[in-house]
A and B are shown apart, each in its own frame.
Chain A
Amino acid sequence: GEEVAQTPKHLVRGEGQKAKLYCAPIKGHSYVFWYQQVLKNEFKFLISFQNENVFDETGMPKERFSAKCLPNSPCSLEIQATKLEDSAVYFCASSLNPGGLREPQHFGDGTRLSIL
Protein backbone atom coordinates (compact mmCIF):
# COMPACT_ATOMS: atom_id res chain seq x y z
CA GLY A 1 0.00 0.00 0.00
CA GLU A 2 0.89 3.66 -0.14
CA GLU A 3 0.70 4.20 3.59
CA VAL A 4 2.20 2.54 6.63
CA ALA A 5 -0.68 0.65 8.21
CA GLN A 6 -0.63 -0.05 11.92
CA THR A 7 -3.10 -2.23 13.76
CA PRO A 8 -4.83 -2.08 16.09
CA LYS A 9 -5.32 1.64 16.68
CA HIS A 10 -5.95 1.06 20.37
CA LEU A 11 -4.98 -1.89 22.54
CA VAL A 12 -5.86 -2.31 26.19
CA ARG A 13 -4.20 -4.97 28.31
CA GLY A 14 -4.09 -5.83 31.96
CA GLU A 15 -0.71 -5.68 33.63
CA GLY A 16 1.14 -8.93 33.00
CA GLN A 17 -0.67 -9.75 29.78
CA LYS A 18 0.90 -9.97 26.35
CA ALA A 19 0.50 -7.26 23.75
CA LYS A 20 1.14 -7.62 20.04
CA LEU A 21 1.21 -4.77 17.57
CA TYR A 22 1.34 -4.99 13.79
CA CYS A 23 2.77 -2.85 11.02
CA ALA A 24 2.50 -3.15 7.27
CA PRO A 25 5.16 -0.95 5.65
CA ILE A 26 4.73 0.84 2.36
CA LYS A 27 5.11 -1.60 -0.49
CA GLY A 28 8.68 -1.58 -1.77
CA HIS A 29 10.17 -0.13 1.40
CA SER A 30 13.03 -2.20 2.74
CA TYR A 31 13.51 -0.55 6.11
CA VAL A 32 11.08 -0.72 9.01
CA PHE A 33 11.46 1.16 12.29
CA TRP A 34 9.63 1.01 15.61
CA TYR A 35 9.45 3.97 17.98
CA GLN A 36 7.85 4.39 21.37
CA GLN A 37 6.23 7.70 22.29
CA VAL A 38 5.64 7.61 26.03
CA LEU A 39 4.99 11.23 26.76
CA LYS A 40 3.39 13.40 24.16
CA ASN A 41 6.66 14.62 22.80
CA GLU A 42 9.44 12.05 23.17
CA PHE A 43 10.17 9.47 20.53
CA LYS A 44 12.34 6.58 21.63
CA PHE A 45 13.85 4.39 18.93
CA LEU A 46 13.33 0.70 19.59
CA ILE A 47 14.45 -1.37 16.62
CA SER A 48 14.89 -1.32 12.85
CA PHE A 49 14.78 -3.98 10.16
CA GLN A 50 16.24 -4.24 6.70
CA ASN A 51 13.79 -6.59 5.05
CA GLU A 52 13.42 -9.49 7.50
CA ASN A 53 16.77 -8.91 9.17
CA VAL A 54 17.30 -6.93 12.35
CA PHE A 55 19.33 -3.87 11.38
CA ASP A 56 19.65 -2.03 14.66
CA GLU A 57 18.18 -3.17 17.98
CA THR A 58 20.07 -0.86 20.30
CA GLY A 59 16.87 0.67 21.62
CA MET A 60 15.05 -2.53 22.43
CA PRO A 61 14.62 -3.40 26.08
CA LYS A 62 16.50 -6.63 26.70
CA GLU A 63 13.58 -8.30 28.37
CA ARG A 64 9.96 -8.68 27.36
CA PHE A 65 10.19 -6.90 23.99
CA SER A 66 10.61 -8.72 20.69
CA ALA A 67 9.97 -7.87 17.06
CA LYS A 68 9.84 -9.63 13.72
CA CYS A 69 9.50 -8.80 10.05
CA LEU A 70 8.78 -11.99 8.15
CA PRO A 71 8.31 -12.22 4.39
CA ASN A 72 4.76 -11.72 3.16
CA SER A 73 3.53 -10.83 6.65
CA PRO A 74 3.07 -7.61 8.60
CA CYS A 75 5.92 -6.76 10.92
CA SER A 76 5.11 -7.22 14.59
CA LEU A 77 6.20 -5.88 17.95
CA GLU A 78 5.38 -8.07 20.93
CA ILE A 79 5.58 -7.21 24.60
CA GLN A 80 5.44 -10.04 27.10
CA ALA A 81 4.29 -9.56 30.68
CA THR A 82 3.35 -5.93 30.13
CA LYS A 83 3.99 -3.32 32.77
CA LEU A 84 2.27 -0.02 33.47
CA GLU A 85 5.25 1.87 32.04
CA ASP A 86 4.74 0.18 28.68
CA SER A 87 1.71 2.41 28.16
CA ALA A 88 2.59 4.53 25.17
CA VAL A 89 1.90 5.12 21.51
CA TYR A 90 4.01 2.83 19.34
CA PHE A 91 4.83 4.13 15.91
CA CYS A 92 6.06 2.18 12.94
CA ALA A 93 7.86 3.82 10.05
CA SER A 94 9.26 2.59 6.76
CA SER A 95 11.69 3.95 4.21
CA LEU A 96 13.17 3.09 0.86
CA ASN A 97 16.49 1.40 0.61
CA PRO A 98 18.13 2.98 -2.43
CA GLY A 99 18.23 6.45 -0.95
CA GLY A 100 19.68 5.13 2.25
CA LEU A 101 20.03 7.74 4.90
CA ARG A 102 18.64 10.53 2.79
CA GLU A 103 15.26 8.95 2.53
CA PRO A 104 12.63 10.17 4.94
CA GLN A 105 10.82 7.75 7.16
CA HIS A 106 7.10 7.44 6.51
CA PHE A 107 5.09 6.95 9.68
CA GLY A 108 1.92 5.10 10.48
CA ASP A 109 -0.75 6.56 12.74
CA GLY A 110 0.47 4.55 15.71
CA THR A 111 -1.01 2.05 18.12
CA ARG A 112 -2.02 3.42 21.50
CA LEU A 113 -1.23 0.76 24.12
CA SER A 114 -2.86 1.18 27.51
CA ILE A 115 -1.82 -1.09 30.36
CA LEU A 116 -4.28 -1.18 33.23
Chain B
Amino acid sequence: AQSVTQLGSHVSVSEGALVLLRCNYSSSVPPYLFWYVQYPNQGLQLLLKYTSAATLVKGINGFEAEFKKSETSFHLTKPSAHMSDAAEYFCAVTNSNTGNQFYFGTGTSLTVIP
Protein backbone atom coordinates (compact mmCIF):
# COMPACT_ATOMS: atom_id res chain seq x y z
CA ALA B 1 0.00 0.00 0.00
CA GLN B 2 1.07 3.55 -0.63
CA SER B 3 0.47 6.53 1.57
CA VAL B 4 1.86 9.85 2.66
CA THR B 5 1.80 11.45 6.09
CA GLN B 6 2.38 15.13 6.53
CA LEU B 7 3.07 15.97 10.14
CA GLY B 8 1.74 19.34 11.14
CA SER B 9 -1.33 20.60 9.34
CA HIS B 10 -0.30 24.17 10.13
CA VAL B 11 3.20 25.62 10.26
CA SER B 12 4.04 29.24 11.06
CA VAL B 13 7.43 30.79 10.49
CA SER B 14 8.77 34.31 10.60
CA GLU B 15 9.82 35.98 7.41
CA GLY B 16 13.46 35.07 6.77
CA ALA B 17 13.36 31.97 8.94
CA LEU B 18 13.91 28.38 7.87
CA VAL B 19 10.93 26.55 6.44
CA LEU B 20 10.64 22.82 7.21
CA LEU B 21 7.59 20.87 6.08
CA ARG B 22 7.58 17.19 6.92
CA CYS B 23 6.55 14.30 4.71
CA ASN B 24 6.85 10.60 5.45
CA TYR B 25 5.81 8.01 2.94
CA SER B 26 4.90 4.37 2.84
CA SER B 27 5.57 2.42 -0.31
CA SER B 28 6.00 -1.28 -0.96
CA VAL B 29 8.37 -0.60 -3.86
CA PRO B 30 10.74 2.29 -4.65
CA PRO B 31 8.70 5.46 -4.62
CA TYR B 32 8.53 8.53 -6.76
CA LEU B 33 7.85 11.56 -4.60
CA PHE B 34 6.57 15.04 -5.37
CA TRP B 35 5.90 18.30 -3.57
CA TYR B 36 3.15 20.58 -4.83
CA VAL B 37 2.03 24.04 -3.67
CA GLN B 38 -1.53 25.31 -3.81
CA TYR B 39 -2.32 29.01 -3.64
CA PRO B 40 -5.89 30.07 -2.81
CA ASN B 41 -8.42 29.22 -5.51
CA GLN B 42 -5.76 27.67 -7.70
CA GLY B 43 -4.67 24.20 -8.70
CA LEU B 44 -1.49 22.46 -7.67
CA GLN B 45 1.85 23.72 -8.89
CA LEU B 46 4.81 21.36 -8.94
CA LEU B 47 7.66 22.44 -6.67
CA LEU B 48 9.99 19.49 -7.14
CA LYS B 49 10.17 15.75 -7.70
CA TYR B 50 12.28 12.78 -6.67
CA THR B 51 12.54 10.03 -9.26
CA SER B 52 15.45 7.89 -8.00
CA ALA B 53 18.25 10.11 -9.23
CA ALA B 54 19.94 12.48 -6.76
CA THR B 55 18.56 12.25 -3.23
CA LEU B 56 18.76 16.02 -2.71
CA VAL B 57 16.33 17.63 -5.08
CA LYS B 58 16.19 21.34 -5.83
CA GLY B 59 12.95 22.90 -6.96
CA ILE B 60 11.48 26.23 -7.82
CA ASN B 61 11.30 29.29 -5.55
CA GLY B 62 14.32 28.19 -3.53
CA PHE B 63 12.76 25.01 -2.16
CA GLU B 64 14.55 21.71 -1.87
CA ALA B 65 13.84 18.29 -0.45
CA GLU B 66 15.96 15.34 0.58
CA PHE B 67 14.95 11.74 0.04
CA LYS B 68 15.99 9.60 3.01
CA LYS B 69 15.17 5.97 2.46
CA SER B 70 16.20 4.91 5.96
CA GLU B 71 13.73 7.38 7.44
CA THR B 72 11.11 7.03 4.66
CA SER B 73 11.05 10.80 4.55
CA PHE B 74 11.00 13.53 1.94
CA HIS B 75 10.95 16.76 3.95
CA LEU B 76 10.67 20.10 2.17
CA THR B 77 12.93 22.98 3.20
CA LYS B 78 13.70 26.54 2.30
CA PRO B 79 16.46 28.51 4.04
CA SER B 80 14.61 31.83 4.20
CA ALA B 81 10.85 32.23 4.10
CA HIS B 82 9.19 34.94 2.03
CA MET B 83 5.70 36.30 2.51
CA SER B 84 4.82 34.91 -0.90
CA ASP B 85 5.51 31.37 0.35
CA ALA B 86 2.30 31.37 2.36
CA ALA B 87 0.20 28.61 0.82
CA GLU B 88 -0.88 24.99 1.19
CA TYR B 89 1.78 22.38 0.50
CA PHE B 90 1.10 18.80 -0.52
CA CYS B 91 3.42 15.82 -0.64
CA ALA B 92 2.50 13.00 -3.04
CA VAL B 93 3.81 9.50 -3.74
CA THR B 94 3.43 7.13 -6.63
CA ASN B 95 5.19 3.96 -7.71
CA SER B 96 5.07 1.20 -10.23
CA ASN B 97 2.16 -0.46 -8.45
CA THR B 98 -0.19 2.50 -8.38
CA GLY B 99 -1.02 2.79 -12.04
CA ASN B 100 0.20 6.39 -12.20
CA GLN B 101 -2.21 7.33 -9.44
CA PHE B 102 -0.82 9.86 -7.00
CA TYR B 103 -1.47 9.50 -3.29
CA PHE B 104 -1.53 12.85 -1.57
CA GLY B 105 -0.91 13.82 2.00
CA THR B 106 -3.47 15.95 3.78
CA GLY B 107 -1.46 19.09 3.26
CA THR B 108 0.39 21.61 5.42
CA SER B 109 -0.73 25.20 5.56
CA LEU B 110 2.27 27.52 5.79
CA THR B 111 1.85 30.94 7.36
CA VAL B 112 4.66 33.48 7.11
CA ILE B 113 4.71 36.12 9.82
CA PRO B 114 6.15 39.50 8.89
Interface residues of A (CB under 8 A from B): 4, 6, 31, 33, 40-43, 45, 48, 55-56, 58-59, 91, 93, 95, 100-102, 104-110
Chain A neighbourhood of B45, CB < 8 A:
107
A56/B99 contact (C-beta < 8 A), A40-B88, A41-B88, A43-B90 known: yes
3 nearest A-B residue pairs (beta carbon): A41-B107, A107-B43, A102-B51
B53 CB to closest chain A CB (Å) equals 9
Contact of A101 with B88 in the complex, beta carbons under 8 Å: no
Contact of B41 with A48 in the complex, beta carbons under 8 Å: no
Contact of B106 with A42 in the complex, beta carbons under 8 Å: yes
B94 within 8 A of A: yes
Contact of B95 with A101 in the complex, beta carbons under 8 Å: yes
Kindly state the separation between the CA atoms of A56 and B102 in the bound complex, as whole angstroms: 12
Q: Size of chain B's interface in residues, with CB distance under 8 A?
A: 28
Kindly state the separation between the CA atoms of A33 and B99 in the bound complex, as whole angstroms: 11
Encoded as 1 (CB less than 8 Å from any A CB) or 0, chain B from 40 to 71 comes to 01111110010110000000000000000000
Interface hub of B88, B100, B106 (most chain A Cβ within 10 A): B100
A37 CB to closest chain B CB (Å) equals 9
B14 within 8 A of A: no
Chain B neighbourhood of A105, CB < 8 A:
34, 44, 102
Contact of B100 with A109 in the complex, beta carbons under 8 Å: no
